[in-house]
């Protein structure tokens, strides 16, 4: 039997779950422990099939709209990490549903910024991707027409506000750092008085994972991003890898997704994971490569992460003792 070829695996660090994702998943799991099944979850709690399927097995029921939840249920209803329009908690309250808000606190921060700008009478731009649930939630914090979506640099060049001297912008938290910087620069050039966030809206986890990919992508033959196709931050990692010169940069939800024809003659492979992808799938993919190659693993780090977000009050451990 011939010896397996050598393969250098370069793991990006940080990768995988961020504090907001951990908080959201823990919220559903704590609700299941405390109140029993079912627990209803509006939209995928995070964009990862493995995570969602695992919670379904424990008794979570995922719905896209509250109308799918039976009348008169006493089961908890969890709002996903991406945030929801204001109409959703209002609808839940009108139906006397017991709701738990698992919105990432960094998304909530963007909602608050937008509300403050609106109170101050500013016209608001939201830099983001249309139809992404986070963007839908942010747009839904304010009356229709109060926020204008900017998706591309071209939008930033052509947008015509009513009052160029009374503007503000906020951004989706999971965007490409470079693309967003370009759009912001265009807006500031055209509208020097535009108000922006005091601290960057793009979240620490998105930023750190992109910085790690920037370090690894130029020095490997290929890079795999563990993540779902509908995960914005995972798609941005793949785009960053391509932009940094990595010839093969793909998204994989599981090891079964790997097209081995593409990965036939590698000497080095980078692996990262989007903020909603669990480490167990990184290990699964490494095991798949270990069947074909002799692995030599190293880690390249771009930042240390120790962020922690407390759970919603109703499911915190101390709530049980009250």
Q: Residues at the annotated binding site for dimethylallyl diphosphate?
A: 47, 82, 132, 231-233, 276
- Quickly state the pLDDT bin for 198 (edges 50, 70, 90): confident
Q: Assess whether 142 and 212 both reside in one domain.
A: no
Q: Assess whether 37 and 78 both reside in one domain.
A: yes
Q: Assess whether 99 and 109 both reside in one domain.
A: no
Q: Residues at the annotated binding site for isopentenyl diphosphate?
A: 47, 82, 132, 231-233, 276
Q: Maximum Cα–Cα distance for the chain, whole Å? A: 74
- Quickly state the pLDDT bin for 98 (edges 50, 70, 90): very high
d(CA 27, CA 20): 11
Answer whether residue 135 shows pLDDT above 90: yes
Residue 2, pLDDT score: 64
Residue 264, pLDDT score: 74
d(CA 296, CA 289): 11
Residue 313 resides in a domain:
no
Torsion angle of C-alpha atoms 59, 65, 70, 74, degrees rounded to 10: 60
CA 160 to chain centre: 30
Q: Residues at the annotated binding site?
A: 18, 47, 82, 104, 132, 173, 203, 231-233, 276
d(CA 151, CA 180): 9
Total domains in the fold of the chain: 3
Q: Assess whether 97 and 117 both reside in one domain.
A: no
Of the three residues 103, 136, 160, the one that is the final residue of a domain is: 103
Residues designated catalytic: 134
Residue 317, pLDDT score: 83
Tell me the CATH number at 61. Answer: 3.40.50.11270
Section 244-253 average pLDDT: 96
Q: Residues at the annotated binding site for [4Fe-4S] cluster?
A: 18, 104, 203
Tell me the CATH number at 243. Answer: 3.40.1010.20
Token pair for 294: 């002799």
Q: Which residue has the tokens 């995922």?
A: 62
> Cβ neighbours of residue 275 under 8 Å, at least 6 residues apart?
16, 17, 18, 20, 21, 174, 203, 205, 206, 209, 231, 233, 234
Residue 320 resides in a domain:
no
Of the three residues 72, 103, 134, the one that is the final residue of a domain is: 103
Residue 322 resides in a domain:
no
d(CA 13, CA 312): 28
Section 61-83 average pLDDT: 96
Q: Assess whether 22 and 53 both reside in one domain.
A: yes
Residue 232 resides in a domain:
yes
Q: To the nearest whole number, what is the mean pLDDT of the chain?
A: 95
Q: Assess whether 181 and 256 both reside in one domain.
A: no
- Quickly state the pLDDT bin for 174 (edges 50, 70, 90): very high
Answer whether residue 1 shows pLDDT above 80: no
d(CA 35, CA 43): 20
Lowest-confidence segment of 75-84, 135-144, 258-267 by average pLDDT: 258-267
Lowest-confidence segment of 79-88, 192-201, 252-261 by average pLDDT: 192-201
Q: How far apart are the first and last CA of the chain?
A: 65
Residue 306 resides in a domain:
no
Give me the domain span that covers residue 260: 4-15+202-299
Residue 196 resides in a domain:
no
CB 259 within 8 A of CB 301: no
Q: Which residue has the tokens 């966030």?
A: 197
Answer whether residue 289 shows pLDDT above 90: yes
3-class DSSP string for the chain: CCCCCEEEEEEEECCCCCHHHHHHHHHHHHHHHHHCCCEEEECCCCCCHHHHHHHHHHCEEEECCHHHCCCCCCCEEEECCCCCCCHHHHHHHHCCCEEEECCCHHHHHHHHHHHHHHHCCCEEEEECCCCCHHHHHHHCCCCCCCEEEECCHHHHHHCCCCCCCCEEEEECCCCCHHHHHHHHHHHHHHCCCCECCCCCCCCHHHHHHHHHHHHHHHHCCEEEEECCCCCHHHHHHHHHHHHCCCCEEEEECCHHHCCCCCCCCCCEEEEEECCCCCHHHHHHHHHHHHCCCEEEEEEEECCCCCCCCCCCHHHCHHHHHC
Section 114-118 average pLDDT: 97
Q: Assess whether 159 and 70 both reside in one domain.
A: no
Supply the pTM of this predicted model.
0.93
């Amino acid at each position: 039997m011939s010896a397996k070829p050598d393969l250098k695996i370069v793991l990006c660090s940080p990768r995988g779950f961020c504090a907001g994702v951990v908080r959201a998943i823990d919220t559903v799991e704590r609700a299941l422990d405390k109140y029993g099944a079912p627990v209803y979850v509006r939209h995928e709690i995070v964009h990862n099939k493995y995570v969602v399927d695992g919670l379904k097995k424990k008794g979570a029921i995922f719905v896209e709209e509250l109308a799918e939840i039976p009348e008169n249920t006493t089961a908890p209803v969890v709002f996903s990490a991406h945030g929801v329009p204001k109409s959703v908690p209002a609808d839940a309250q009108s139906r006397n549903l017991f709701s738990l808000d698992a919105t990432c606190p960094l998304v909530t921060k963007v909602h608050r910024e937008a509300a403050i700008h609106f109170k101050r009478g500013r016209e608001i731009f939201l830099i983001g991707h249309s139809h992404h649930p986070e963007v839908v939630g942010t747009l839904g914090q304010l009356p229709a027409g109060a926020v204008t979506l900017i998706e591309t640099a071209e939008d930033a060049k052509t947008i015509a506000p009513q009052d160029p001297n009374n503007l503000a912008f906020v951004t989706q938290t999971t965007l490409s750092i470079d693309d967003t910087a370009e759009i912001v620069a265009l807006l500031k050039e055209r509208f020097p008085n535009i108000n922006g966030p005091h601290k960057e809206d793009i979240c620490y986890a998105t930023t750190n994972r992109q910085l790690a990919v920037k370090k690894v992508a130029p020095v490997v033959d290929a890079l795999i991003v563990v993540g779902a196709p509908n995960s914005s931050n995972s798609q941005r990692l793949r785009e960053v890898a391509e932009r940094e010169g990595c010839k093969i940069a793909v998204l994989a939800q599981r090891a079964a997704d790997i097209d081995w024809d593409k990965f036939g003659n590698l000497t080095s492979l980078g692996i990262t994971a989007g903020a909603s992808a669990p480490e167990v799938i990184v290990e699964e993919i490494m095991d798949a490569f270990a069947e074909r190659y002799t692995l030599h693993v190293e880690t390249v780090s771009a930042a240390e992460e120790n962020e922690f977000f407390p759970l919603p009050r109703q499911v915190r451990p101390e709530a049980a003792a009250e």
